[in-house]
Structure formats: structure tokens, C-alpha cells
Chains A and B, each alone.
Chain A
């Protein structure tokens, strides 16, 4: 199975600060279709996960543009330009290229 390694495990940031989360996969996520199925989701406390980014860098329509995704092959990054209170929770990367799909262990964003 593809192992997804997220760092850091946790982040403690003040409102307005930037955030960066790394996600590395044990094998390339570039699929035979030419697409890379690396996605990001956010699970706020006590809630189900919510979509953020798909195919590395494409934001879902409701996601604020302070979020961005980048990367290729095996190394990916989620960035938040300026953290807001509603951004707290656990961020997961997950890959949908190789079955079984796999999740990173999560990065917990806390407010300082």
C-alpha cells in the first residue's frame, strides 16, 4: 500500500500567520491518466471531513483562496496564507491513484 507521510504532526499558530503542511507518498501518485490524485481534506473537531483540494492544486468552489496546494510525484504541500479561526482542525492528505486509497496520519492545526 502507498504510505502517506504528513509533517508536522501538529501546528500551533496565531490568527493571520501562514501555515504549511507537507505530505510525502511512498510512490509516485501520477496515474496512467496523466492525473495526480492527491487530495486534502479538513476534519474540524466533532465533525466529518470536508473537502478542500483535489488533484494536487484544484480548490473546491467553496474553499477560500487563502488555501493552496502544490507538488508532484511524491511530494506535496498544503499552504494557508493567513490562518483564520475556522481553519482549526486536522488536515489529511489522501491519495486516490493506487488502490487501496490511503490517508496521511493527519496534521492538527491549533490556534495559539
Chain B
């Protein structure tokens, strides 16, 4: 069955970096793009952008240009989200979702605290 399994919760300090993984199984990884979605505590969902899993090309929504990086390890059917120079407002749960958002990862909570 199709699964997206994300890495575990992270506790980071402001200014640090974090890397979140999203391992896909049950389908051909390169047949569907991968979305990334942010959910701040108690808030709704915010689309961050997506990565073309065939070409590796990322596309970012405006609010996520600069410090956010999407990349792949195609041989491992894994997509990554890296956030550099963490800020307090980055504290959130981050979801990966297969293109079309028919399948979602379980989410990764990133806590930013000094």
C-alpha cells in the first residue's frame, strides 16, 4: 500500500538548520511530484511548494523562497525539506503529500526554541 513516512520530531535553536525526510513506498516515486505543507500550531494548512520527482526541480511559494530547500534522494524514494537559519515562526508541523495530495505523510513537528 502507498505510504509516506516522515522523520521524527526535531528540537532546534534559532539560526540552526533542520532536514526532514519523507520516504515513499507502494508506488513509483518518480511518477508523482511531492508537495510540502506547513501547519503552524493550532492553525490551518499552508502550501509551501513542490518538487518534480522526475527532474528534481523544486518550485517554492513566495513565502518559502530563500531559506527553504526541497531536494530528493531518488534511489531511496525519499524527498527532503531543509530549513536553514531557523526562526521562531518556523515552528510547525510539516507534511509531505504526494502530488494531488491524495496521500499524506504523518507530519514532522519542528520546535524552535532557544
- A residues within 8 A CB of B70? none
CB <8 Å contact, A54 and B100 = yes
- B residues within 8 A CB of A96? 100-101
B103 within 8 A of A: yes
The contact size tier of chain B is 10 to 19
CB <8 Å contact, A50 and B44 = no
- B residues within 8 A CB of A105? 44
| A48-B95, A48-B106 known; A41+B101 contact, CB < 8 A | yes
Instruction: Give the contacting residue for B103; candidates A43, A51, A103, A104; CB below 8 A.
Output: A51
B58 within 8 A of A: no
The contact size tier of chain A is 20 to 34
A5 within 8 A of B: no
B46 within 8 A of A: yes
CB <8 Å contact, A50 and B104 = yes
- A residues within 8 A CB of B62? 100
CB <8 Å contact, B45 and A103 = yes
A-B contact count (CB 8 A): 45
- B residues within 8 A CB of A50? 104
B64-87 interface bits toward A, Cβ cutoff 8 Å, 1 = contact, 0 = none: 000000000000000000000000
CA distance A49 to B101 in the complex (A): 9
A39 within 8 A of B: yes
CB <8 Å contact, B105 and A49 = no
| A100-B61, A100-B62 known; A49+B45 contact, CB < 8 A | yes
CA distance A50 to B62 in the complex (A): 26
User: Which residue of chain A has the shortest Cβ distance to B47 in the bound complex?
Assistant: A101
List the interface of chain B (C-beta within 8 A of A). 35, 44-47, 49, 59, 61-62, 95, 97, 100-107
List the interface of chain A (C-beta within 8 A of B). 39, 41, 43, 48-51, 54, 60, 90, 92, 94, 96, 99-106
Leading 5 A-B pairs by shortest Cβ distance: A100-B61, A103-B45, A48-B104, A101-B47, A51-B102
A–B pairs, 13, beta carbons within 8 Å: A48-B104, A49-B45, A49-B101, A49-B104, A92-B44, A94-B101, A96-B101, A99-B59, A100-B49, A100-B62, A101-B35, A101-B47, A103-B45
